[in-house]
Amino acid sequence: MSGPVAIVGDVERALSCAERTTSLDAISDRDRVYALNNGEAVHTSSETSGFRVGELALPNGESYSGSLLGNLPEGLGKYIWSDGCIYEGEWRRGMRHGNGKIRWPSGTVYEGEFSGGYIHGTGTYIGSDGLTYKGRWRLNLKHGLGYQVYPNGDVFEGSWIQGAAEGPGKYTWANRDVYLGNMKGGKMSGKGTLTWTNGDSFEGSWLNGMMHGFGVYTWSDGGSYVGTWSRGLKDGKGTFYPNGIQLSVLQEPYLNALRIRGLLPDMRRQTHAHAHHASSVEMANAKVPGNRGSRRISADKISKGNLINLEQSHRGNVSLERRWSLEVSFEKVIGHDSSLELSESISEGMEKASDKNVAPILEREYIQGVLISEFVLNNSFSQSSRREKRRQRKLVKEVKRPGETIIKGHRSYDLMLSLQLGIRYTVGKITPVQRRDVRASDFGPRASFWMNFPKEGSQLTPPHQSEDFKWKDYCPMVFRNLREMFKIDAADYMMSICGNDALRELSSPGKSGSIFFLSQDDRFMIKTLRKSEVKVLLRMLPTYHDHVRSYENTLVTKFFGLHRIKPSSGQKFRFVVMGNMFCTELRIHRRFDLKGSSLGRSTDNIEIDENTTLKDLDLNYCFYLEPSWREDLLKQIEIDSKFLEAQQIMDYSLLLGVHYRAPQHLRSLTTIREDGLGIVAEEGTDDSSVIAGPHIRGSRLRASSAGDEEVDLLLPGTASRLQIQLGVNMPARAEQIPGKQEDLFHQSYDVVLYLGIIDILQEYNMSKKIEHAYKSLQFDSISISAVDPTFYSHRFLEFIEKVFPVTS
């Protein structure tokens, strides 16, 4: 089920509508340029000074008339380009500055404020195609509050950042559908409410123009569905309230609580948030490039080169596309031939509710838009019933993102602030340094630096709300090189970890007691390290760097930064920033930590959910891959494990994430595309629709079934494709191991796999040797984790080969 999708790109790009023009300050005797005085050509030179009114003609056919200070426009004036573009307005030091108006030959017009030669301030743009924008600008881009009318009649009013609709706003389609909520990059993203003209509405989370996350879909007839979505499709558990069941009576206090917690948009705060966000992006303090130190001006200062070619770039001003999903209407009819099993359960529920002439409340579970299970709840829930409250608490737990958001008052709040401040300083300091290959001197403890961060700030550091602390950055040039190797933009890296959104703290799944933080966009994981682990990483960093550079498909953990914080009062904290291998568009239903050992490798007596990390003995499936993929995967795992063996590393794991696709017999009965998460050849596809995994290198995988072509994974119900690479978005068939049962899933399943090698900083030191000797006296030495690296590597590979058997 999907509402409209935004496909707005960069709304304005600073492109030139003509080549550079000759600079007015280049007037000289040699150029034989003449000033026009009373219609007569009079020879002049660059030595002319003083304020006057006159006309200037340039050899390329362009001209200026108006106020001059020397040979530079100053005050009111008119400039005509050779292609017919005209600017009339105020000038300062030879640049457009103040109020003015520019007209293009096509009829496009901008009238408003300029600064330093740029469109900057408040102004109105009217395109030749009818597109109109009124609002704030910054350096030729829409930035701040603005109101835009698209040629097709759509209207957006709200916040703009760097040329795209971003932040709170209101989008009204020509057919009167209305979206009120947050935008990002010109698309509906974040919390928001979309109301259709037919009376339907969706209130909840959005991602790239699609329903994504927790939300409430309400139909015009009064029915509603409360649950989770993934890229426009229902995905996970939820509750259907049919027409006749008053949601407001049952759920309004519950939904209000979700609004307070931020899981649903709070429309009462939209107006306030709109104004607050807009004020934060205003340009009052923005610096505009100028030339105060010289009366001369470079050739492009007076040209249109630093103006927007709105006639070309307005093509990016695409209005939000309306996407309709048959799943919406499908859900309005309960129990009409969705499957024999499901229709039978619905019929039973209807019979139970027939005495009251009210359809029952249904609890449903979906996988990628496919209804896989459904049962009837008591349709006479009272608002205060214990069963209803338990069910609501369970639903909140299921839709909650992994981890606990760190807010003020949280035990890790000061630590998070210090970490974000330090990383912002580190990346900001290293980014301007000229790129070069890493050297031997860039490695080791001596390649680190300290910086004091007093609370009141210093000449090099800003004031902050945390306590005084010392920041240590290890091998910054090496980690910068690693980030660039994985195509991580410095600004994106800072925004992901140090942006306005808080980090989330995860409970530690292991015995180390480490603290894990997750960035809000799920791209990066931050883990605290022991001092011994820092020493191991620094020792192996040169060979790690060479290994990652040599094997672009490596599955070992991706390290992007190593830091230390020493608060003025308290213990030292050492952190490593890593790539999160489960940052994906798909929902991870099961995750496994596999070592190849058996002692203590199960998760008995705990409640298992999607965030539970299961172990070797919990794995009740084996996975069949395309033969060539299996060969490549096992070969890379062998290369990586041999590398770790050479570094005397053991106790590492294969972290495996599994996304279960809907059963084939149910998939064909839905209204989404039957190819589902199908493999499609890359040839002839649009690269803009292909979603690459974060911090991924290497080539796409090829499939024999597609004629040995590079292939992508097609997302159901969308035009988007996931890029298939080694360890990322890998389709497979999961088959249940005989003798092992799991209630949730069938004996055979189509799945998508994500995998990587983690926990690679434990060396086989004296402590581990003692642990090996002690446990060998009590247990079979083959079953324990603490074994020497050579045996560990051999056992690990043997186990992984069993997890991914040869296709029969």
pLDDT value for 798: 93
pLDDT at 379 over 90: no
| Angle 79-81-85 from CA coordinates, rounded to 5° | 90
Question: What average pLDDT does the segment 261-267 reach?
Answer: 60
Q: Taking Cα atoms as reference points, which of 360, 354, 327 lies closest to residue 241?
A: 360
Lowest mean pLDDT among 180-189, 243-252, 558-567: 243-252
Q: Give 557's pLDDT tier (boundaries 50, 70, 90).
A: very high
Give 312-328 as a DSSP string. Answer: HHGGG-PPPB----HHH
pLDDT tens per residue across span 396-405: 444 456 678 8
pLDDT value for 358: 56
Cβ(45)–Cβ(32) below 8 Å: no
Question: What average pLDDT does the segment 206-233 reach?
Answer: 86
pLDDT tens per residue across span 287-299: 444 443 333 333 3
Q: Which residue has the higher pLDDT, 695 or 701?
A: 701
Q: Give 242's pLDDT tier (boundaries 50, 70, 90).
A: confident
pLDDT tens per residue across span 491-539: 889 888 988 778 888 876 556 678 899 998 889 999 999 999 999 999 9
Range of 265-274, 568-577, 762-771 with top mean pLDDT: 568-577
pLDDT at 177 over 50: yes
pLDDT value for 124: 95
Half-sphere exposure at residue 274, Cβ-oriented, CA atoms within 13 angstroms: 19
Question: What average pLDDT does the segment 419-447 reach?
Answer: 88
Q: Give 156's pLDDT tier (boundaries 50, 70, 90).
A: very high
Q: Give 241's pLDDT tier (boundaries 50, 70, 90).
A: confident
pLDDT value for 256: 64
* DSSP 8-class letter at 521: T
Question: What average pLDDT does the segment 73-99 reach?
Answer: 92
pLDDT at 19 over 80: no
Range of 493-507, 541-555, 589-603, 716-730 with top mean pLDDT: 541-555
Cβ(216)–Cβ(264) below 8 Å: yes
> 133 exposed, middle or buried (CB, 10 Å; 0-12, 13-18, 19+)?
buried
Alpha-carbon torsion, ordered 59, 65, 69, 72, to 10 deg: -40
| Angle 210-211-217 from CA coordinates, rounded to 5° | 140
Alpha-carbon torsion, ordered 247, 251, 253, 255, to 10 deg: -100
pLDDT at 697 over 90: no
What tokens does 101 get? 């108006």
Q: Which residue has the higher pLDDT, 170 or 244?
A: 170
Distance in angstroms (rounded) separating the CA atoms of residues 549 and 637: 16
Q: Give 739's pLDDT tier (boundaries 50, 70, 90).
A: low
Q: Which residue has the higher pLDDT, 276 or 690?
A: 690
pLDDT at 22 over 80: no
Dihedrals phi, psi of 571, to nearest 5 degrees: -85, 165
Cβ atoms < 10 Å from Cβ of 699: 10
Half-sphere exposure at residue 318, Cβ-oriented, CA atoms within 13 angstroms: 12
Pairing relationship of beta strands 210-218 and 155-161 according to DSSP bridges: unpaired
pLDDT value for 634: 95
Distance in angstroms (rounded) separating the CA atoms of residues 375 and 335: 11
Q: Taking Cα atoms as reference points, which of 335, 385, 342 lies closest to residue 359?
A: 335
- Tell me what percent of the chain is helix, strand and coil, each rounded to the nearest 5: 25, 30, 45
What tokens does 470 get? 């010392």
Question: What average pLDDT does the segment 556-569 reach?
Answer: 93
Range of 36-50, 138-152, 209-223 with top mean pLDDT: 138-152
pLDDT value for 571: 85
Q: Give 7's pLDDT tier (boundaries 50, 70, 90).
A: very low
pLDDT tens per residue across span 619-663: 888 999 999 999 999 999 999 999 999 999 999 999 999 988 766
Distance in angstroms (rounded) separating the CA atoms of residues 627 and 289: 58
What tokens does 529 get? 């390290």
What proportion of the chain, given as a percentage, has pLDDT over 90? Answer: 32
What proportion of the chain, given as a percentage, has pLDDT over 70? Answer: 68
Report the predicted TM-score, pTM, of the whole model to 2 decimal places.
0.63
User: Please, which contacts does 399-405 make with residues 24 or more away whose CB atoms are closer than 8 Å?
Assistant: 399/213, 399/214, 399/227, 399/228, 399/236, 399/263, 400/263, 401/504, 402/504, 402/506, 402/518, 402/611, 403/504, 403/505, 403/506, 403/507, 403/516, 403/517, 403/518, 404/504, 404/505, 404/506, 405/502, 405/504
pLDDT at 745 over 70: no
Distance in angstroms (rounded) separating the CA atoms of residues 180 and 172: 9
Q: Taking Cα atoms as reference points, which of 455, 196, 408 lies closest to residue 322?
A: 196
pLDDT value for 502: 82
Mean pLDDT, the chain, whole residue set: 75
- Chain-centroid distance of CA 276 in Å reads 23
Cβ(216)–Cβ(224) below 8 Å: yes
pLDDT value for 50: 77
Residue type, 807: T
pLDDT tens per residue across span 39-83: 333 334 444 467 888 888 888 889 999 999 888 899 999 999 988
pLDDT at 164 over 50: yes
- Locate all alpha helices (DSSP H) within 403-530, ordered by sequence: 413-430, 476-485, 490-498
pLDDT tens per residue across span 351-371: 444 444 556 788 888 877 777
